[in-house]
Amino acid sequence: GDEVLMSDLTFAASAFATTYVGAVPVFVDSEPATWQMDPEVLEAELERRAAAGRLPAAVVAVDLYGSVADGTRLAAACARHGVPLVEDAAEALGASRDGVAAGRFGRVGVLSFNGNKIVTTGGGGALLSDDADLVARARHLGTQARDGVPWYQHSEIGFNYRMGNLNAAVGRGQLATLTERMERRAVVRRWYEQEFAGVEGVRFQAVPDGCSPNHWLTTVEIDEAVFGAGAAEVLAALRADGIEARRGFCPMHLQPVFAGSVPVTAGGSSVAAAHFGCSVSLPSSGRLTREQVEWIAGTVRAAGRLAA
């Protein structure tokens, strides 16, 4: 029954992890420009809860689309109230902000090596922490909670959350090329920016000063009134051209599984919901060629002209 404040704009796995332990996720809205958890909204909600004696058990901040949330400010807000911060850096391996690597801002950080990530082991992930006792506890539970005796003895319920050696070997081999993989995706992002330079109504995720993303997923917002077409029309045009693309993440408070959730916002209007309504995640592989990016961007631009 503990409550956990967490990013509204994320993939569902972030919220599901909270429910696995019987906690209740409470979703916090995003910043308009970066789409990351809004520190001001979090700070205000923590103050309100502190005054009411209802502080959350934890805060889970997600690093969205390969960029990094304002971990310095989020961690400071949590520290003022003695609330642990968990940084979900599943999408942000290799990225950093204010000189701190993604996954290192909170008491715990989490990485993903799923098949669609910048480094993959085919599945699974990693837990990061400077808390040696916490790491030992996680290792114990993740290996079926076997007691340290010569026979198979278990004093509590454990889990099979360990990664296989073959999977780990695949991931370690790719880590050697992480910088190169990030550089390739940065090039793809720059190509997109060049293709949409001067095109009104197409806005990229803002990159704050001191932030170095891994550019995992290039996502744009489409202002229908200015561009001449909305996200739905752009996605339809891309599909018609055989180009795979999709909306940005649907906020957790709009997911049927969390029906009835009321997000914590700055003034009642959800930035996360607005983002979902106008967002398009473009092909972002580091293997894309300049010609392919030109083709994708040309299809997007044509959708705006046709609708106009």
| Confidence class for position 175, pLDDT limits 50, 70, 90 | very high
Q: In this model, does residue 215 exceed pLDDT 70?
A: yes
- Sorting pLDDT into bands at 50, 70 and 90, what band is 305? confident
In the predicted structure, residue 229 carries a pLDDT above the cut 90: yes
Q: Please provide the DSSP assignment of 158-177 as one string.
A: --B-PPPHHHHHHHHHHHTT
**DSSP β-bridge partners for residue 111:** 126
How large is the average pLDDT for residues 231-243?
98
- 105 token code pair: 């801002």
The structure tokens 């429910």 sit at: 19
Q: What angle do CA 80, 82, 83 make, to 5 degrees?
A: 105
Is the model's pLDDT at 151 over the cut of 60? yes
pLDDT for residue 235 is more than 60: yes
Would you call 185 helix, strand, or coil by DSSP?
helix
Tens of pLDDT, residues 188-197: 999 999 999 9
CB atoms inside a 10 Å sphere around CB 150: 6
Domain at 3-175: CATH code: 3.40.640.10
Q: Residue 308: its pLDDT value, please?
A: 56
Whether residue 301 is predicted with pLDDT greater than 90 in this model: the reply is yes
Q: Model's pTM, two decimal places?
A: 0.95
Residue 193: per-residue pLDDT: 98
Mean pLDDT estimate for the chain: 97
Task: Give me the phi and psi of 58, to 5 degrees please.
Answer: -165, 165
pLDDT number for residue 259: 96
The gap between the terminal CA atoms of the chain, to the nearest Å, is 51
CA 225, 234, 61 angle in degrees (round to 5)? 85
Neighbours of 134 (CB within 10 A): 14
pLDDT in tens, 6-62: 999 999 999 999 999 999 999 999 999 999 999 999 999 999 999 999 999 999 999
CA dist 36 and 43 (Å) reads 14
Residue 101 has pLDDT above 70, yes or no: yes
In the chain, residues under CATH classification 3.90.1150.10 are 178-307
Instruction: Give the count of alpha carbons within 13 A of 111, CB side only.
Output: 22
113 confidence band (pLDDT: 50, 70, 90): very high
Position 72 scores a pLDDT of 98
Is the confidence at residue 112, as pLDDT, over 80? yes
- Coil/strand/helix, residue 211: strand
Q: Which residues pair with 203 in a beta bridge?
A: 221
Q: What's the token pair of residue 163?
A: 């990664």
Is residue 188 a contact partner of residue 293, using CB atoms and an 8 Å limit?
yes
DSSP string, 68-119: ---HHHHHHHHHHTTPPEEEE-TT-TT-EETTEETT-SSSEEEEE--TTSSS
Q: From residue 238, how far is each of 26, 31, 100, 242, 245 by CA, in Å?
A: 35, 28, 37, 6, 7
Average pLDDT over residues 273-298: 98
Residue 299: pLDDT band by 50, 70, 90 thresholds? very high
3-state helix, strand, coil in the chain (%, to 5): 40, 15, 45
The answer to whether the CB of 237 falls within 8 A of the CB of 300 is: yes
Q: Look at residue 164 in the predicted model and tell me its pLDDT.
A: 92
- pLDDT 10s digits, 69-98: 999 999 999 999 999 999 999 999 999 999
Residue 256: what residue type?
P
Residue 59: CB partners within 8 Å, gap ≥ 6? 4, 5, 6, 42, 46, 74, 77, 78, 83, 84, 85, 86
Q: Please say if the pLDDT value at position 307 is more than 70.
A: no
What number is the average pLDDT over the span 118-128?
Answer: 95
Give span(s): CATH 3.40.640.10, the chain.
Answer: 3-175
To the question of domain 178-307 being in CATH 3.90.1150.10, the answer is yes
